Structure 1
Amino acid sequence: MALINPAPPADSLAPERAGAARFTQVGKPVTRIDAVDKVTGRAKFTYDLLPTDHLVAKVVRSTIASGRVLSFDLDEALAEPGVVAIFTCLDEGLPTYQFASPGHPWVVDPEERGDIEDRTLMDSRVRQYGDTIGVLVAEDTVAAERALRKIKVEYEEYPVVFTYEQSQDPDYAPPIHEECPNNVQADWLTEVGVEEAGYSSMEELLHDPQYHSGSYHMRTPRQQQAHIELCLSFCYEENGQIVCVTSTQIPHIVRRVIGQALEIPWGDVRVIKPFVGGGFGNKQDVLYEPLNAWVCHKLGGRCVLLELTREEVFEQTRSRQPKDYYGEACWDDDMNLVARSCEGFSNSGGYASHGQAIIANGLGSFRFMYSGQEKACRTRALTFYSNQATAGAMRAYGVPEATWAAECMVSDIAHDMGWDGADFRAKNAIKLGYEDVTWPAPLICQSNGIQECIERGRELIGWDEKKRRYANETGPVRHGVGMSLLCYKCSVGGLELETASARMTLNQDGSVVLTLGATEIGQGCDTVMCQMCAEVLGVPVEKVHIVSTQDTNISPYGAGAYASRQTYVTGMTIKQVGAEFKAKILDYARYLKPYYNGQDLDIADSWVVDAAGRRVISLEELSTIAYYDRKRSDQIEASGTTEEDVNSFCLGACFVDVTVDIPMATVTVNQIVQVHDSGQIINPKTAEQQVHGGIAQSLGMGLYEELIEDPATGKTRNGNLLDYKIPTTMDVPDLTAEFVETWDPTGPFGNKSLGEPPCIPCAPAIRDAVLDATGVKFYEAPMTQQRLFEGFKAAGLL
């Protein structure tokens, strides 16, 4: 790992040593603190905590995609042995509060809320296949499933709105939501640089005859997160609260939404998040927890389990929003991008969920990434309702899709002009000091290792040698190399509320308990939080005990795991609270050792030391006395909250080597190299794991993964792990993950984000390699065998 611009500040936490940041705990390849518990089965997930005397709830789902429920026939279902109750959308007394389900910071002022409140617990208006029209409760799963099959429903059916064109035809079908008569949730246009470039309009610039120009249409798929653990919760009442134990990324937000949906005080709800078996954004949505909590309350507080099947997770939770992009670009003969334009249309399905935020976020990265030489850029983001399944957040929040669009354009330009794609990208990539003028608060590129990422990836893949070797292949089996860049923000700071809280408590033996709202969902968050805490306090990481389970009655507030924000934002909180905590410890040391009053003290390796580094008292001795001293007993602790408006850019480059069998219409990925600039790396071992996992997900988006729905019925056709294809160990080649370490002044330890960026660039890099091998341009992901066959045939290769 090479360290480049700029050098870190010379303070006690980050002393300069030959221009590099050196820490005692941060930057070390610490083994994940949850590794042993997870591999031995000691880690407790939601289902592991389920009481044995529980009821089972199953959602009654619509068998049409659009229409209205007219009546139910429940007689046979209620007669099934073991059935406890059936509640339907036609019952009187249902809560009617319309709530928003995405995990976003709450805004008190209704006029400033970006999330659309378009959901209720149940609704007679059906907006997607499998919509929630009722809930059945039984003594066990067998009884529940038998009874479900005996429920009869009468509907008034409407035409299925599947495309944007259908959504805009008022004569085709009634609005999906009455409060949104044109089915468009939002339509935003962002344009920068046109007047400054001396043009009256973007069209004039894009079609200036002195430049080359091109137009493009790209599509990206509905991709499912395919996490191992299903979506589930169980609820019961205790001490005047509804307790919801759930597999979620956003426990504090789940509490708020349950309170809103049930129209009860938020404090009457307690949410507990145990270990989580993956989420990738699907669990950044409040799914069925409010419904489960309401059923529990209706049944007198009895424990109720609501667990989705694998098919329900695929069909009735969230996925990437399928998108269409229409792009234009112009460029000069000197390898400079002059201007780009991209209109994106995003299909959110029957409900808004994360809605417009996703495509807007993606098109922001479209704008940032290739801003190096560009005079102007225009993006349009539009999100619409349809009767498809509701889509929402998935890892990297719209940026993989927009990067696919941006890279298709850049790849085509380089190919058509005969330019080296790496040189072209390097010349036009985002520069140090870039500032996005459309952002509400400063969004500035304050560290930038993109050129080093390109050069290192180019070297590792053998770019120049392979370009020469593969250049003249003409047979049925050909080889190619390709690449793609990535650009991703570090949080939502500057756009939305970005806050985190922490609590630190000194144990009797001198160890520390760290309690956070930041949620571990499998990404290694707890490990790096312990490293940062240990760094601030001057103790070994083994002396920090983190509370992995979030409990809204106990855990300080945290918005949750999304936006690759937790190490960046919660790290700042740990740094601030740690400084206060450390000061309290040192103050108590001076009480025990009055000789040191007025002198500088510090903590190193769990010892209080003086300015010369001499040991004064161990933390173990100090803390034991603090707990039991007759004159000044004190459980030393500190807590606090930070709010951040800062942000920055994490960057990177992906390189791939592929073999294309044209008659078989297959792509074999032989090698993938991904190099990241995520600032200072907190834990190289967990960072490498994050990159490997992200590459596999992007590989899936590029070649295999697509949820397919029937346009006539809205029903998902491949909602299971047999028919929905994800990469297996046989599909993933040897992966190389490296890091170019920059020092970012906005990060708590010079660090930037890494959670989501790894899943961005591999798919378009594969597309670029296929173009290199065959000369055939593909614009729709994934590049399945069928699409490859059709593309090769159209190009005359078959």
Structure 2
Amino acid sequence: MEKKGAIGQSETRWDAISKVKGTAMFTADFPVQNMLHGKIVRSTIAHGRVLEFDISEAEKMPGVVKILLPEDMPQNQFATAGHPYNMIPEKRDVADRLILTRDVRVYGEEIAAVVAKTELQAVQAAEKIKVTYEEYPVYLSPKESMAEGAMRIHKERDNVIANTKVGFGDVEEELAKADYVLKEHFSTGVQQHVHMENQVAIAYQSEDQRWTCISSTQIPHICRRIIGEAMGMPWSQFRVKKPFIGGGFGNKQDVTIEPLAVAMTMACGGRPVQLAITREESLAFTRTRHAIDYDVQIGVNKDGHITAIDFDVYSNQGGYASHGHSIGGKGGTFIHALYKSDALRYAAKTVYTNIATAGAMRGYGIPQVMYALESIIDDAAEKIGMDPIEFRMMNAQPDNFKNTISKIKQKNFLIEECLKKGREAFEWDRKLKDSLNYKSGSKRRGVGVGSFSYGSGTYPFGLEVSGARLILIQDGRFKLMLGATEIGQGADTAFSQMAAEILGVPTNHVIRDFMTDTDVDPFDTGAYASRQSYITGFAVREAAEEMKQKIVERASDIYDVRPEYLDIVDSQIIYAYDGEVVTSLADLALASFYDMQHGQSIVAESAVNIHHNAYASGCTFAEVEVDVETGKVDLLSVMNVHDSGKIINPKLAGGQVEGGMAMGIAYGLSEGLRYNEKGKPLNNNLLDYKIPTTMDLPELDFEFVEEMDPLAPFGNKALGENPMNSPAQAIRNAVKNATNVAINDIPLSTQRVFEHMKENNVITVKNQADAK
């Protein structure tokens, strides 16, 4: 009997039909009896203190059940970042937040809350609460916040949350040796996740007198712990359930509303309370991608050799620490992962300001640092007159290179293969030649390339544990139970494929559940860091191997065949040496449960702690047309090429790549939250915050350099975040190639590009007059 594996097949997502039909149950869909509704009262200043609340009118509003002020809340400071608990106190996330506070550090601060019988009544009552403030200076950038005499945003802490430096060699000496030294400043914007489903939570007291929170979270097990810390209660007193999620992209790797939802139900005697925020609130008052400034130097010789890379980094954290320095501080590892140099210095500061709190977002700091790195790499290649692809390949780290900073050996690191494959598939040479016909006039064309490197999980800097449980059902199918989190990316289907591959059954014989439950499912830290298919994959593999061994041993007992002679193929117990069927897995399962002599259930469970990592890589190729009279950039064609090991499910992988490319293109061209001088968000709505539609995007092409990774559970490496990491720099470099103008700030909005064209005399007064 021929064995057909599940890995590498484009299996249909098990949740696809329910989501398309609209029958999938998301948090807000749960019919809860006698449910109340909560609404947050937000500050209308960005920095200051609440001196007084006047709630007299609000208390008289119809339907009001409770008005909650900061003094009504537990006064335990807690951290909101979705990181595993750290046993070393000084390495834990900064605990700088209360559930409600009078100290205002961002516009839209959670300063009070209303619980009412309906959502509209809660909104109307919240609008009646009058607030008197003492206002302080507002700092929008790290430079302002670090200036001499600047007020501390958190009284007990300096405005610089962390200041670190990593690297090797003598940067100053190696810069001095270089034939050329390029020195440039780069700036990235404040991007928001804009997931389809806003943050929503339902909290209530359950029958066992504990507290349950149904939440749209990426991190159910961590969420339970953070609720416990905020409440100052044992973590076991809380139960978190995660149903279907309408996306997160890292925003739901922070615990933003869950402690308040639980506090609301506690204040209402355990009666269920739903706290659902609006799109405008989600855009402005949850988490964002860090805006980061980079001062970069690179030394390069005429032969293309890089002597030194030097980064000074200023990460705008916003009002609260959230994920803090783990984002701004990580870039040095992945610069070094990508390029050889004689010396490297990466010095990073993460700084409190009074804009929205920055947290985790797809790519986790790598889109920012790779934008700066790949832009100056491209400029260096141009400086010495070298092809930008050849320059990258010449300086790429070799296979089996041991990263000096992370101590990870980079096996199967295939960035050169990605560049080669992309050059041919994108038709780089032809498009570069064709662009020479568009170097004058109002419409200019150019091509650009940008690379990246990325890890599969957080080791060695973070804990990487996961668990899996498999249960044999009486009909020969399996229930797979995981604490890993499906957030719309298709992880559950991939996990079913992994288990099916080992068990010798079709993928649809491995059943997953739409609900992750901290009381039921094994511990897993959650969906982030492109870790799940890699880290949780090991747990699934171990559980499946144990399950298979137990089934074979049970079959050996029942059918009196030595276990080493048996295998499972296509849901049949067979003789391994000739494929003859002994019995079906369904019949074996039935006998296993009900046989008088041998009957007992079969359960397999695993828990893993992974102490290695697999670095993925890739690149983007872009072709643009720039209208130099208006500044409008049209993306004509784009291609991503990924080194992500064995692809578990090609169709799902393609969806991941296309989604990440769209997000990366928008990061480079249009997206960004804007603030006025008082820190008030100006464009926190889907009319003014410019995410692309399908009409704004070209065909999203992609290729894979597919090679089994030796350290992976199924040969696979990270992919989920990777497609986000290189489009912006490829577009920037293409615009430079088209116009001969290097623009170092993103997004490359029409206004910004126009101003740079004018400043560099690409647009002259005569050109503009002629255009009219």
- The 2-side partners of 1:107 and 1:535 are apart by 35
- The 1-side partners of 2:143 and 2:659 are apart by 37
1:137 to 109, 115, 120: 115
- The 1-side partners of 2:399 and 2:70 are apart by 55
- The 2-side partners of 1:679 and 1:430 are apart by 17
Aligned to 1:7: none
- 1:392 matched to 2:368? The reply is no
- The 1-side partners of 2:570 and 2:329 are apart by 47
- How far has the Cα of 1:170 moved from its partner? 5.2
- How far has the Cα of 1:166 moved from its partner? 2.4
- How far has the Cα of 1:407 moved from its partner? 1.0
Partner-residue secondary structure (3-state), 2:625:
strand
- How far has the Cα of 1:352 moved from its partner? 0.3
- How far has the Cα of 1:661 moved from its partner? 0.9
- 1:105 matched to 2:84? The reply is yes
- How far has the Cα of 1:416 moved from its partner? 2.6
- How far has the Cα of 1:338 moved from its partner? 1.7
1:653 to 619, 625, 635: 619
Partner-residue secondary structure (3-state), 2:567:
strand
Aligned to 2:166: 190
Q: 1:552 to 1:598 in 2, by over 3 A?
A: closer
- How far has the Cα of 1:289 moved from its partner? 0.1
1:789 to 747, 754, 763: 754
Q: 1:170 to 1:72 in 2, by over 3 A?
A: farther
Aligned to 1:276: 245
Q: Deviations over 1:244-272 (max 9, x none)?
A: 00101001111001111111111110101
- How far has the Cα of 1:365 moved from its partner? 1.7
- How far has the Cα of 1:230 moved from its partner? 0.7
- The 1-side partners of 2:456 and 2:707 are apart by 14
Deviates more, 1:340-349 or 1:427-436: 427-436
Deviates more, 1:492-501 or 1:754-763: 492-501
- How far has the Cα of 1:597 moved from its partner? 2.9
Alignment of 1:658-673 (within 5 A): 658-673=624-639
- The 2-side partners of 1:140 and 1:659 are apart by 52
Partner-residue secondary structure (3-state), 1:471:
helix
Aligned to 1:148: 126
Aligned to 1:19: none
Q: Deviations over 1:582-613 (max 9, x none)?
A: 1111111011012x136432211111222312
CA contact (8 A) 2:167 2:332 kept: no
- How far has the Cα of 1:549 moved from its partner? 1.3
Partner-residue secondary structure (3-state), 1:641:
strand
- 1:461 matched to 2:426? The reply is yes
2:529 to 563, 580, 599: 563
Alignment of 1:448-527 (within 5 A): 448-471=413-436, 473-527=439-493
Partner-residue secondary structure (3-state), 1:172:
coil
- The 2-side partners of 1:684 and 1:334 are apart by 40
- The 1-side partners of 2:546 and 2:219 are apart by 27
- How far has the Cα of 1:380 moved from its partner? 1.0
- The 1-side partners of 2:62 and 2:129 are apart by 14
Aligned to 2:61: 80
CA contact (8 A) 1:688 1:738 kept: no
Q: What number of residue pairs does the alignment pair up?
A: 759
Unmatched segments (≥5 aa) in structure 1: 1-14, 16-21, 195-200
Q: Deviations over 1:645-680 (max 9, x none)?
A: 110111111111111111121111111111101001
Aligned to 2:769: none
Letter of the structure 2 residue corresponding to residue 189 of structure 1: K
- The 2-side partners of 1:483 and 1:400 are apart by 14
CA contact (8 A) 2:331 2:346 kept: no
Aligned to 1:542: 508
- 1:48 matched to 2:14? The reply is no
Aligned to 1:4: none
Aligned to 1:3: none
Aligned to 2:768: none
2:495 to 529, 534, 539: 529
- 1:30 matched to 2:11? The reply is yes
Q: 1:332 to 1:160 in 2, by over 3 A?
A: same
1:723 to 684, 688, 705: 688
Partner-residue secondary structure (3-state), 2:705:
strand
Letter of the structure 2 residue corresponding to residue 176 of structure 1: I
- How far has the Cα of 1:361 moved from its partner? 2.3
- The 2-side partners of 1:90 and 1:31 are apart by 51
- The 2-side partners of 1:280 and 1:577 are apart by 28
Alignment of 1:314-713 (within 5 A): 314-371=283-340, 374-439=341-406, 442-471=407-436, 473-594=439-560, 596-597=561-562, 599-612=564-577, 613-711=579-677, 713=678
Taking every aligned residue pair, what percent have the same amino acid on both sides?
42
Alignment of 1:759-778 (within 5 A): 759-778=724-743
- The 1-side partners of 2:570 and 2:4 are apart by 13
Q: Compute the RMSD of aligned alpha carbons.
A: 1.4
Q: Deviations over 1:520-557 (max 9, x none)?
A: 10111011101000001111112111123101111111
Give the TM-score taking structure 2 as reference length: 0.97
Q: Deviations over 1:335-363 (max 9, x none)?
A: 12221111111011110000000112234
Unmatched segments (≥5 aa) in structure 2: 764-772
Q: 1:657 to 1:516 in 2, by over 3 A?
A: same
- The 1-side partners of 2:31 and 2:367 are apart by 37
CA contact (8 A) 1:50 1:234 kept: no
1:313 to 268, 276, 282: 282
CA contact (8 A) 2:552 2:563 kept: no
- The 1-side partners of 2:213 and 2:612 are apart by 34
- The 1-side partners of 2:630 and 2:63 are apart by 54
CA contact (8 A) 1:90 1:124 kept: no
- The 1-side partners of 2:443 and 2:563 are apart by 76
- The 2-side partners of 1:81 and 1:33 are apart by 45
Aligned to 1:39: 20
Aligned to 1:178: 155
- How far has the Cα of 1:52 moved from its partner? 4.8
- The 1-side partners of 2:701 and 2:761 are apart by 35
Aligned to 1:59: 40
Give the TM-score taking structure 1 as reference length: 0.93
- The 1-side partners of 2:91 and 2:724 are apart by 31
- How far has the Cα of 1:23 moved from its partner? 6.5
- How far has the Cα of 1:125 moved from its partner? 1.1
CA contact (8 A) 2:200 2:276 kept: yes
CA contact (8 A) 2:174 2:342 kept: no
